[in-house]
Amino acid sequence: MENGFTRREAMTAAGAAATLGFLSSFLATEALAQHPQAGGGTFVHKLPPLPYPEDALEPVIDKETVKIHYEKHFAAYVAGLNTALENLEKARASGQFDAVKGLSRDLAFNGSGVVLHWIYFTTIGPKAGGAPAGLMADMIKRDFGSFEAFWKQFAAASKTVEGSGWGVLAWEPFSKRLVVLQAEKHQNLTSWGAMPLMVCDVWEHAYYLKYQNRRPEYVENFAKIIDWKKVEERYAQFCAAK
Ligand SMILES: [Fe+2]
């Protein structure tokens, strides 16, 4: 299934390479690979289920924001990704690639939006927050000096994204280190090859109802709902040993 996606899309455009790299791994997960399509053809993505009630993140993120964010915004990226994949399949069938530049952009934007929202919603939860323990604690201390230093960098990066985007904790296989990145929109400023482990959505739709223009307050409160066990599970699932 994941091979089907990679095989079919990997050659569409160099600009989508990072997204495809992420997706080829993430599609193997239960969240996005819940609809086996072993028969081939363009992979049809579906919105994975929200793993907790819409009000479970109160009071950090209100129910209405979660509802709109998940059912409207996340769903729109899933639909946009499917449309891009469909149009690319049509282009291959016709041999007409006049629109490939725009389609490649749509693929990268919506594909990255799907991956990042999936990570976002499955890496936060009720009864979470605080500092990590175990392997994640050790790795963060090794790569950032201390959890406090890591959080200051992550929070600063999230607060200062220019426009809409993300703060990202990622695993970089090349250096075998954790890195903190900013992403503008969903796909700009990313470091190709880095695997996102934990992300903070700083698009206004993620916090505006409750926090309005107070993004820093939202980012600081975000620490209360990060589920570090999930972060470690993701690292163990997708990344090489440290
Ligand atoms: Fe979002």
CA of 175 to the centre of ligand 1 (A): 29
CA of 202 to the centre of ligand 1 (A): 7
CB 50 within 8 A of CB 121: yes
CA of 130 to the centre of ligand 1 (A): 23
**pLDDT tens across the length of the chain (242 residues):** 233 323 333 323 333 334 444 544 454 454 444 444 555 677 899 999 999 999 999 999 999 999 999 999 999 999 999 999 999 999 999 999 999 999 999 999 999 999 999 999 999 999 999 999 999 999 999 999 999 999 999 999 999 999 999 999 999 888 889 999 999 988 887 766 678 899 999 999 999 999 999 999 999 999 999 999 999 998 888 775 44
pLDDT for the residue 9: 34
CA of 69 to the centre of ligand 1 (A): 6
Q: Which residues pair with 182 in a beta bridge?
A: 167
User: What is the rounded distance in angstroms from the CA atom of residue 106 to the CA atom of residue 100?
Assistant: 10
User: What is the rounded distance in angstroms from the CA atom of residue 37 to the CA atom of residue 66?
Assistant: 30
CA of 73 to the centre of ligand 1 (A): 6
User: What is the rounded distance in angstroms from the CA atom of residue 187 to the CA atom of residue 162?
Assistant: 13
CA of 111 to the centre of ligand 1 (A): 13
CA of 65 to the centre of ligand 1 (A): 10
Q: Is 145 helix (H, G, I), strand (E, B) or coil?
A: coil
CA of 225 to the centre of ligand 1 (A): 16
CA dihedral 210, 214, 215, 221 (to 10 degrees): -60
Backbone phi, psi, residue 172, to 5° = -105, 100
CA of 63 to the centre of ligand 1 (A): 14
User: What is the rounded distance in angstroms from the CA atom of residue 118 to the CA atom of residue 26?
Assistant: 9
Q: How many CB atoms lie within 10 A of CB 150?
A: 20
Eight-state DSSP code of residue 130: S
CA of 118 to the centre of ligand 1 (A): 10
pLDDT for the residue 40: 65
The number of angstroms, rounded, from the C-alpha of 5 to the middle of its chain's C-alpha atoms is: 18
Q: How many residues would you count in the chain?
A: 242
Report the b/e string of 219-238 with b at 16+ CB within 10 A. Answer: bebbbebbbbebbbebbeeb
User: What is the rounded distance in angstroms from the CA atom of residue 176 to the CA atom of residue 187?
Assistant: 22
The number of angstroms, rounded, from the C-alpha of 115 to the middle of its chain's C-alpha atoms is: 4
Q: Which domains does the chain have, with CATH numbers?
A: 2-44+62-123 (1.10.287.990), 134-238 (3.55.40.20)
CA of 199 to the centre of ligand 1 (A): 10
